[in-house]
Amino acid sequence: MRFLLPIKRSLCAGLLAIAANSSPAFSQAANHCFTAETFPAFANAPLLAKMARGVNLSNWDTDHIEYRPNFATVRELFGQGFTHIRLPIFHSAFNRADFGSADLAEYTRWFLSVIEKLTGFGYAVTIDFHPDGDFNRLLRTNTEAGYRRLEESWRFLAKALQDTNPEFVAVEVLNEPDLTPEIWYSHAERLAHKMRQWLPRHTFVVGPSGPMRHESLADFHPLDDPNVIYAVHFYDPFIFTHQGAEWHPPSDPVRLSVGVPFPSRDNDPRIDELIARLTEEGHFHAVEEVRQIFQEPWTVKDIENAFNTVQRWSQKHGRPVVVNEFGVLSYDAPRTDRLFWLGTVVNAVEERCIGWTHWDYSDGFGIVDPRTHEPDKEALKVLLKSKDASIPQNQ
């Protein structure tokens, strides 16, 4: 997922009004899910239990110091029920293979101190290798050179991480591998074998190629290693979760679409209003794409079906899976719909013994205001399924 800072618009300040006659509270977490009995072939049950509920701590290392997370708030979130942090890391020295640089040494000391702080709060931490466009370009355009650079990067990182506690620290091999499924699987097999020599007890996190979609996991064969957690990302329907995304091209329907609902229904007036506005503005290609996307309504059942695919894979292979990215860009999504979507995803994954980690902490998809460091209380209630969290069934 792309980082969005500096943030151009503040998080929505208004709180959702909870109707007295709205839907029942979301069910409590299935505590039986994350145990050695559930996944007997998995080698690190204590870590898996901690990865049940988490958040991505994006922008912890941003140059915009005022947008870095306040660790007092991070600690508060642990007290409220979050138990896992996904920590994206990357430094430009990896692009140059400059593993002896003073800047990289300082960055390494920095992320090790953050790991120590987070595990001291009680969190499990996944170190997510989250490269930039230049690194991904090398992976994509020169397969063997890209693999060597990735292996060299992990050789360096493994040395830095070797003394961390495997019951609290996992390592994610590569975020959203920009490779074909065949090439990525070959890379993952080779790299996992190497990394296991360097980190014999740490859990690896591995996902399918590309945007790590659930359909891609269905075709991904587990690695020959019992200490791997498999990961997917979930942002469906994309035009809803990314509506108004300012980093997309100006003519992209995702960028042009605001006020997109979830769930949608046949002859949805909000979709009709969006199509009318796009037509009036002359975005005819976007109009056709929006019509195609909403030929059939997007509903709770679509989300449940997606995670049925994940559950079937997990059960077939006896391997644990986490959704380590999901979220809705908050600027233009209707707030009630955003909260409903978040609650729907959490319900679906927890009912299927799938851990989750929300994207993100305080950036555009965030659950904490980056300026005040105040959590979005209504979003937390929905994510953590508090007893008083009730979300309207439809619009």
User: What is the structure's pLDDT at 227?
Assistant: 97
Say which range, 23-32, 120-129, 364-373, has the weakest mean pLDDT.
23-32
d(CA 19, CA 391): 8
Percent of the chain with pLDDT over 90: 86
Q: What is the pLDDT of residues 276-315, one digit of tens each?
A: 999 999 999 999 999 999 999 999 999 999 999 999 999 9
DSSP state of 221: P
Closest CA to 240 of 290, 283, 175, 287: 290
230-243 pLDDT, tens per residue? 999 999 999 999 99
pLDDT digit string (tens) for 1-55? Answer: 645 543 333 333 333 332 222 332 333 445 567 777 788 889 899 999 999 999 9
User: Distance of alpha carbon 4 from its chain centroid, rounded?
Assistant: 14
Q: 395 pLDDT exceeds 50?
A: no
Q: Is the pLDDT of residue 318 over 60?
A: yes
Per DSSP, helices labelled H in 162-251 are 181-198, 214-218, 238-241
How many Cα atoms occupy the beta-carbon half-sphere of 272 within 13 Å? 5
Angle between helices 269-280 and 284-293 (to 10 degrees): 160
**Residue 263: burial class (beta carbons within 10 Å; 0-12, 13-18, 19+):** buried
Summarize the confidence of residues 56-67 as an average pLDDT. 94
Percent of all residues in the chain with a pLDDT value above 70, rounded to a whole number = 89
- Report d(CA 178, CA 63) in Å as an integer: 26
CB 185 within 8 A of CB 224: no
* Adjacent-strand bridge partners of 170: 126, 203
**Averaged pLDDT for residues 192-201:** 98
Of residues 391 and 342, the one with the higher pLDDT is 342
Better-scored residue on pLDDT, 66 or 22:
66
Q: Looking at residue 20, what is its pLDDT?
A: 28
- Per residue in 224-271, pLDDT (tens digit) is 999 999 999 999 999 999 999 999 999 999 999 999 999 999 999 999
Output 220 or 31, whichever has higher pLDDT: 220
Distance CA 343, CA 24 (A): 12
Say what the pLDDT of residue 31 is. 58
Radius of gyration of the chain, Cα coordinates, nearest whole angstrom? 21
**What does DSSP assign to residue 323?**
E
Tell me the average pLDDT across 189-206: 98
Q: What pLDDT, on a 0 to 100 scale, did the predictor assign at position 272?
A: 95
Mean pLDDT, residues 169-195: 98
**340-353: pLDDT as tens digits:** 999 999 999 999 99
358 membership: H or E segment, kind and range: strand 355-358
**What is each CA distance from 40 to 35, 45, 226, 290, in whole angstroms?**
8, 9, 10, 45
Q: DSSP letter string over 235-264?
A: --SHHHHTTT-TTS-TT-HHHH--S--SS-
| pLDDT band of 96, cuts 50, 70, 90 | very high
Please tell me the predicted confidence (pLDDT) of residue 38. 83
Residue 320: what residue type?
Answer: P
pTM of structure: 0.91
How far is residue 177's CA from residue 147's CA, in Å, rounded to a whole number?
11
pLDDT of residue 19: 29
343 Cβ contact partners less than 8 Å away, ≥ 6 residues apart: 26, 382, 383, 385, 389, 391
Choose among 133, 368, 325: nearest CA to 236.
325
User: pLDDT band for position 385 (50/70/90)?
Assistant: confident
Average predicted confidence (pLDDT) for the chain: 90
Per-residue confidence (pLDDT) for residue 388, from 0 to 100? 46
Instruction: Kindly indicate the confidence band of residue 181, based on its pLDDT and cuts at 50, 70 and 90.
Output: very high
Residue range 315-331: mean pLDDT, rounded: 96
Distance (Å, whole) CA 164 – CA 3: 27
